[in-house]
Every structure is written in structure tokens, then in C-alpha cells.
Amino acid sequence: MKFVNLKIKLDNLYNTYKKKYSSNDPVWLVHRFSSEKDIEIAGLLASSYSYGKVEVINKFLNQLFTRIGNKPYEFTANFTKRKDNKFLADLNYRFNTGDNLA
């Protein structure tokens, strides 16, 4: 099979299933950020908590991203437990607590 034909077939498959599954995938939450550093931090956080029921993961990640704001890199780079733990203290996901995240 020629690469051009393979690309066309793979693109068609991607376009067929993208809308159906992408909104549920926790990794898609990182696309709300635009800077490369923010996407990397958001991706690390999303992948770290991507176990369990998808709806629960997404709910947790939305809460987390809301609390840390639109600049996850800046939040983590400037994070100090003393100053910022209050943002995460009551944030729990399965057996992980906000203190674990801090």
C-alpha cells in the first residue's frame, strides 16, 4: 500500500471517530491551553490522574484546572506549599488527596 493511500485511510478513520471519542478523553482537556509549557504541565497532570472512570477523571481535572487557573506552568513554577496548598487542600481523586498533589 502506498503511503498516500494509507494516509488517506488513516485520516478518514481519525475523522470518523474523533468527534465520538475525543470529548471523553482526559488528554483532550489540555487543548484549552495555548502555550507549550502550559500544555506540557496540563498533559502531565492529566496523564497522572487518568485512571478510573472517565467521567470522574474529567470532573476532577476540570476542578484542578479551574483552581490552578489558565497558566498551569506559572502556577507550578511558582508553587510553594505554604502559599498555595489552600487551593488544593480539599481536592481529592480516588485515594489521592490535595496534599499528595502539593
Q: Which amino acid is located at 39 in the chain?
A: I
Q: Decide: pTM greater than 0.75.
A: no
pLDDT by position in tens, the chain (length 102): 677 789 999 999 888 877 665 667 777 788 888 899 999 999 998 888 888 888 888 898 889 888 888 899 998 999 888 887 887 888 876 777 677 666
Q: What is the 3-state secondary structure (H, E, C) of the chain?
A: CCHHHHHHHHHHHHHHHHHHHHCCCHHHHHHHCCCHHHHHHHHHHHHHCCCCCHHHHHHHHHHHHHHHCCCHHHHHHCCCHHHHHHHHCCCCECCECHHHHC
Q: What is the mean pLDDT of the chain?
A: 82
